[in-house]
Amino acid sequence: MNVCVLGLGYIGLPFAALLARHGHSVRGVDTSESVLRALRLGNLPGLEPSLGALARECVSSGRLVPSGSVSRADVFIVAVPTPVREVRKADLSFVEQAVDSISPFLEAGNLLVIESTVPVGTTEKMASRLLEKRPDLASPEGRPLFFAAHCPERVLPGKILEELVEVDRVVGGIDPESTEKAASFYRGFVRGAVHTTDARTAEMCKLVENASRDASIAFANEISMLCVKWGIDPEALIGLANRHPRVRIMEPGPGVGGHCIPVDPWFLVASAPEDTALIQAARKTNERKTEWVLERIKKAACRFENPVFACLGLAYKPNVNDLRESPAVKIAGKLCSMKNGEVRIVEPNIDRLCPPLSALPNCRLVSLEEALKEANVVALLTRHREFEGIERRISAETLFVDPNGIIRAGTRKAGEATP
Ligand code: SAJ
């Protein structure tokens, strides 16, 4: 089949490569010339394991053609970003632009799938938008002669290629025929089950999955702040509570980052602000946790006149290089804006700082050894594998703050070998 994938980002590129691997003839469309150039040249550093190699292979074999413009296809997949703007409403302009660019090429019997995370009702709206531009594609009863469905991506950054194939999918069309058409397309390469529903349910399902995770993490974060008040170790406490057969508390940390979980709940809130008190409270609790951990790091630094902070980890979660919406970036930025103080960053997954941190005179990316040697306060912000057992490497004159804001003194005496 001829497939056109619009948006070659975190989801679109692996998806396009996967479709090409499954024998489809894929046109990968992106508006960024640098993305297209990198793909054409096979210059794809920093991608997920094996994705770079697969994308290179698909492009060189001609099964994946990077392009700045849409052309005719049997299936159009929209995988463009849907960011949340200041007013905490979804910005659908990229989806609208993508749909508009498809409109001149759309033919009766084609399938449009929106993979981008969108507010409930968007797939129906996009189908109507296409019909307005292409009234020739309406049946005499005004129904579209093309198929349109939502199939939200569900992959975990760090395991994208694997999860695109293995994880169950939810497919919902604007009518039963669209659902069936889209489901049979996905069944061609998904090993997990493909569950069918309508477009609105599929849209809401994705938002609810991420809002549910946000609320669960918020509970863990609230508990962790309470624990500090009573001198209780939150991780030990949660470990014990989770020994109950029907309790599963998540892991607290310095807040929730990434481009999905802190964003998607707002799509639900925007649609019904008065009926989403719990979802809003969860968002605020997770945002508050970042501020709270920052306050704890500053508290640890009180005794030093010009403290040197070591921030271990900038990524939004362990063992990835993704800094989007990362609580660690927010904390490091705020430490840099203190009147006194120097900030050393250790992030094994990047080789240079990017703005705003790169523009700050008191902020430097250094090795772990250098950071541990110079710091008065070491804050573990992301539990990368490189930082395992870090507590035992902190010298006795240095304070250590864990991802929950627990402050401890270092234990290693001067001259003692590091384990
Ligand atoms: N986090 C905690 N405590 C935990 C688990 C996570 O504080 O117990 C934090 C992480 O450190 C991170 C944030 O939450 O800052 C999000 O990490 P994550 O691993 O939970 O999720 P993402 O954003 O990498 O991917 C999520 C996934 N959604 C769900 O698991 C419901 C993924 O399946 C989605 O495809 C993705 O969002 C998306 O694109 O929506």
Closest CA to 259 of 79, 40, 392, 83: 83
List 58, 151, 181, 206, catalytic entry: 206
pLDDT given at position 43: 84
Catalytic annotation present for 206:
yes
Q: Is 169 helix (H, G, I), strand (E, B) or coil?
A: strand
Contacts of 335 (CB under 8 A, 6+ apart): 294, 297, 298, 309, 311, 341, 343
Q: What is the pLDDT of residues 118-134, one digit of tens each?
A: 999 999 999 999 999 99
Q: How far is the CA of 260 from the centre of ligand 1 (A)?
A: 7
Given a cut of 70, is residue 418 above it in pLDDT?
A: no
Residue list, ligand 1 pocket, CB within 6 Å: 117, 153-157, 209-210, 213, 217, 250-251, 253, 256-258, 260-261, 316-317
Query: Is beta strand 147-150 parallel, antiparallel or unpaired with respect to 169-173?
Result: antiparallel
412 vs 365, which has greater pLDDT? 365
What would the two tokens of residue 102 be? 């498809």
What would the two tokens of residue 20 be? 């090409």
Q: How far is the CA of 108 from the centre of ligand 1 (A)?
A: 38
Given a cut of 60, is residue 191 above it in pLDDT?
A: yes
Atom of ligand 1 nearest to the CA of 260: 40
Given a cut of 80, is residue 314 above it in pLDDT?
A: yes
Q: How far is the CA of 4 from the centre of ligand 1 (A)?
A: 28
Q: What is the pLDDT of residues 27-75, one digit of tens each?
A: 999 999 999 999 999 888 767 768 889 999 999 999 999 999 999 999 9
Which of 102-106, 145-149, 354-358 shows the lowest per-residue confidence on average (mean pLDDT)?
354-358
Given a cut of 90, is residue 336 above it in pLDDT?
A: yes
Q: How far is the CA of 317 from the centre of ligand 1 (A)?
A: 8
Rounded Cα gap, residues 300 and 60, in angstroms = 54
List 260, 311, 336, 363, catalytic entry: 260
Contact (Cβ atoms closer than 8 angstroms) between residue 268 and residue 207: yes
Atom of ligand 1 nearest to the CA of 155: 35
Closest CA to 164 of 145, 190, 193: 190
Query: Is beta strand 399-401 parallel, antiparallel or unpaired with respect to 407-409?
Result: antiparallel
Given a cut of 70, is residue 417 above it in pLDDT?
A: no
**Structural domains of the chain ordered from first start:** 2-192 (3.40.50.720), 289-409 (3.40.50.720)
Q: What is the pLDDT of residues 237-263, one digit of tens each?
A: 999 999 999 999 999 999 999 989 999
Q: Is 320 helix (H, G, I), strand (E, B) or coil?
A: coil
Atom of ligand 1 nearest to the CA of 264: 40
What count of Cα atoms within 13 Å lies in the side-chain half-sphere of residue 152? 25
Average pLDDT value for residue range 138-142: 94
Task: Please name the residue ranges forming H helices in 337-410.
Answer: 368-374
DSSP 71-133: ---SEEEE----PBPTTS-B--HHHHHHHHHHGGG--TT-EEEE-S---TTHHHHHHHHHHHH
Q: Average pLDDT of the chain?
A: 95
Atom of ligand 1 nearest to the CA of 11: 39
